[in-house]
Amino acid sequence: MTDNKRVTNKQIIEQLNKLIKKFNTMDVTIRLDEADLNVLATKTVSRMVKLKSMEDWFDHVNKSDIAWSTSYQDLELSEEEEALGEAAKLMTLMEMFKQNEEYEKCAVIKNRMNEVNRILRRYK
């Protein structure tokens, strides 16, 4: 478990069980006074606040328009992948327009779908 990745409850429990097994085989008595507990609590809360702040910052930055467009461009999709995405979008729009009986829009979508199908045929 490292500081820079999320840790699940299951992982924490597994680590605690490992520690318990180690302590059971050792003859060790742990005594924490009030000062030790305060230091431990302060460090724990400090770490949690730091992680929460980093998570909030990441969420904020990740939702920005620049981050969205940059991350999408970094995918470097092939022409075939772009065409498949476009086909999925067009089929969804076609169904919406059919349900709303907007047949003029369906005709436009059909023409665009024919172009996309020509691209996809090259990759079959």
pLDDT tens-digit series, residues 35-83:
888 888 898 888 888 888 888 877 777 777 776 666 666 678 889 999 9
Q: What is the mean pLDDT of the segment spanning 108-123?
A: 93
Instruction: Give the domain range for residue 63.
Output: 9-68
* Per-residue pLDDT at 71: 64
Is 48 contained in some domain? yes
Q: What is the mean pLDDT of the segment spanning 2-9?
A: 64
- The DSSP code sequence of 93-112 is HHHHHHHTT-HHHHHHHHHH
pTM of the complete model: 0.45
Separation of alpha carbons 94 and 100, rounded Å: 10
* Per-residue pLDDT at 59: 79
Domains: count for the chain: 2
Residue 5 pLDDT greater than 90, yes or no? no
Residue 43 sits in the same domain as residue 89: no
Quickly tell me which residue has 């467009």 as its tokens: 69
* Residues 80 and 124 sit within 8 Å (Cβ to Cβ): no
